[in-house]
Homo-oligomer: A and B are copies of this chain.
Amino acid sequence: MLKSETSFVVRYAETDQMGIVHHSNYPIWFEAGRTDFIKTMGMTYSQMEAQGILLPLIELKCSFKSAARYEDEVVIVTSIKQFTYTRIVFYYEVYRKGSGTLLAMGETSHAWTTRELKPVNLKKHSPEIYQLLYMAYEQSQ
């Protein structure tokens, strides 16, 4: 099953006055995971954008299980949950390294669009990108 792992250290600016990581950072962490996942497939998200394919979010879900704190080393595990001609859904789990505690899990649903944010059928618009992602999706099952 194809998964990518992304590790980094929690930044001070990511904390809030509760003393924990503010929840608005998790979508940003998911995105870092997504960037790495696509890279493991042999292309980069920058290259996809250069070919005129964008991936704006249409839905975001996140469940928070345990608080992350400043200087925690966290790891984002990313995989594909759903994949069609018009959409892709990524799934994420966030762990604290060392303890292995599950901090959060979430998913993001994206439409395939042009640079002008018009939805496209990925298979028709960019068959090579479709092929790469389809293979990654197959391996994710």
Contact = CB atoms under 8 A, between A and B. Distances in A.
A117 interface: yes
Copy count, this protein chain:
4
Interface string A85-106: 0000000000000000000001
A24 B13 contact: yes
A23 B35 CA distance: 16
Contacts of A27: 13, 23-24, 27
Chain A: interface secondary structure?
A: mixed
Interface residues of A, number: 41
Listed from nearest, the 9 A-B pairs whose CB atoms lie closest are: A15-B17, A24-B27, A13-B28, A23-B57, A60-B62, A17-B19, A46-B71, A24-B28, A15-B16
